[in-house]
Amino acid sequence: MKLVSRIGPPAGIGLCLVLFAAALRFEGGLSKTVHAGPGERQSSAGGPFPRVAVGFRGEQLRLNRPPRAIASQALVIDHLLFAVTDSERVVSASAVAHNPRYSFVADLLQGMDVGVTTDPEALVRKRPDLVMLSHTARADFEDIVRSAGISAFRMLTVFENFDEIADALRVTGHVTGDDDAAEREIRRMRQRIERARSRKPKSAKPVRVLPYSTYGSTFGRGSLLDHILQQLGAINIAAEHGIGPVGPISSEQVASWNPDWIVVGAGPGRADEVLARMRADVGIAVTNAGKTGSILVVETRQYVSMSHHAAGLMEAIAARLYQEEP
């Protein structure tokens, strides 16, 4: 079973953490329960507080009111939060959020007094009433958060497809009380995805594409990038050769697999440098991609994104693979 965020009726809480709406009377309102894990999908609807959120490990968090000061421990959650809630509610973010190489909110954070969540002392000084954690966060850090009297919510932050990202947006909207904003962001993401898909001519043959890193790694079956290539009607050569979500790759393998296109990430201002390095690689130079110059360099933050911003990667790949004839 895939570990994904879903919405639907519970099917064995603990093994199949799902998002579902349970109408429970409490002080004249509805108490909603949301699960941050895998299960069957179903559309969500906003409702009044109090609400109950069930985290990745099955732990329940009762929210009597929308949290007023929120801390995020992971970059994915940073991106989700800034997409659905007011930025002034975010009092602490991940350390990576401040790095423009990986973050889509770095510029925004420069003008804000936001702490770094992984620094316990700085976190406590910000006095959040909720810390949102990745499912991979260390247990001892969660213990520190709870011992300081701060509520914690753990959610999935690694996704294989855009449906899972949509579910994560819904989870974020439910926890923060911004259900409508989450749905609006989901609609925008899906519109971008559909526009990217529509660029492929019906008569176009599948293009053989290799996701590549200058560090000698690739994204294969089960990765979000593999899903993007499938949606665009392209063939992910790494997945074709049995590589999982992330795996090593040598220059010799690149040469023998002979991709038509190569997609690679580059940090801010380093696109030309990365492209020159790729062209100078003998294993790449002998491929169809190397001979025709079919090497797409995208921003690293797009290339590795695990949020709705990955729609930008899909748009960039579609625009290059299926360029309109002059």
Read off the pLDDT of residues 167-215 as tens digits, 9 standing for 90 and up: 999 999 999 999 999 999 999 999 999 999 999 999 999 999 999 998 8
The residues, any chain, with a CB within 8 Å of residue 187's CB and separated by 6 or more, are none
**Integer Cα distance of 207 and 292 in angstroms:** 14
Structural domain includes residue 53: no
Read off the pLDDT of residues 269-302 as tens digits, 9 standing for 90 and up: 999 999 999 999 999 999 999 999 999 999 999 9
Query: Is there a contact between 63 and 51 (Cβ–Cβ < 8 Å)?
Result: yes
Strands 208-212 and 261-266: parallel
Query: Which DSSP symbol is given to 193?
Result: H
Last residue of some domain: 127, 158, 190?
Answer: 190
| Whole-number pLDDT of residue 64 | 96
Instruction: Judge whether residue 70 has pLDDT over 50.
Output: yes
Instruction: Judge whether residue 166 has pLDDT over 60.
Output: yes
Quick one: 148 and 207 in the same domain? no
Average of per-residue pLDDT values in the chain: 87
Quick one: 182 and 90 in the same domain? yes
Mean pLDDT of 87-113: 96
Quick one: 156 and 245 in the same domain? no
More confident residue, 240 or 28: 240
Instruction: Give 242's strand partners.
Output: none
Structural domain includes residue 44: no
Quick one: 152 and 216 in the same domain? no
Which one-letter amino acid corresponds to residue 193?
I
What the block records as the tokens of 92 is 């602490």
Structural domain includes residue 43: no
| Whole-number pLDDT of residue 27 | 26
Quick one: 95 and 180 in the same domain? yes
What the block records as the tokens of 170 is 């819904």
Structural domain includes residue 205: yes
pTM score? 0.85
Last residue of some domain: 157, 190, 223?
Answer: 190
> How many distinct structural domains can be found in the chain?
2
Structural domain includes residue 163: yes
Last residue of some domain: 190, 210, 231?
Answer: 190
CATH number, residue 166? 3.40.50.1980
Structural domain includes residue 223: yes
Strands 235-236 and 261-266: unpaired
Quick one: 217 and 110 in the same domain? no
Structural domain includes residue 16: no
Quick one: 220 and 183 in the same domain? no
What proportion of the chain, given as a percentage, has pLDDT over 90?
82
Quick one: 134 and 81 in the same domain? yes
Structural domain includes residue 208: yes
Q: Could you tell me the residue range of the domain that residue 74 belongs to?
A: 66-190
